[in-house]
Amino acid sequence: GQQLNQSPQSMFIQEGEDVSMNCTSSSIFNTWLWYKQDPGEGPVLLIALYKAGELTSNGRLTAQFGITRKDSFLNISASIPSDVGIYFCAGQANAGGTSYGKLTFGQGTILTVHP
Q: Is 115 in the site for other proteins (CB under 8 A)?
A: no
Task: Give me the DSSP letters along 61-102.
Answer: EEEEE-TTSSEEEEEE-S--GGG-EEEEEEEES-SSGGGTT-
Contact pick of 28, 44, 55, 67 for other proteins (by CB under 8 A) = 44
CA diameter of the chain: 47
Nearer to other proteins, 62 or 94 (CB): 94
Nearer to other proteins, 35 or 73 (CB): 35
DSSP state of 15: T
CB of 95 to other proteins, least distance (A): 5
Answer yes or no: are the C-beta atoms of 27 and 70 closer than 8 Å.
Answer: yes
- Residues in contact with other proteins by CB under 8 A are 1, 4, 6, 30-31, 33, 35, 40-45, 48, 50, 88, 90, 92, 95-96, 100-103, 105-108
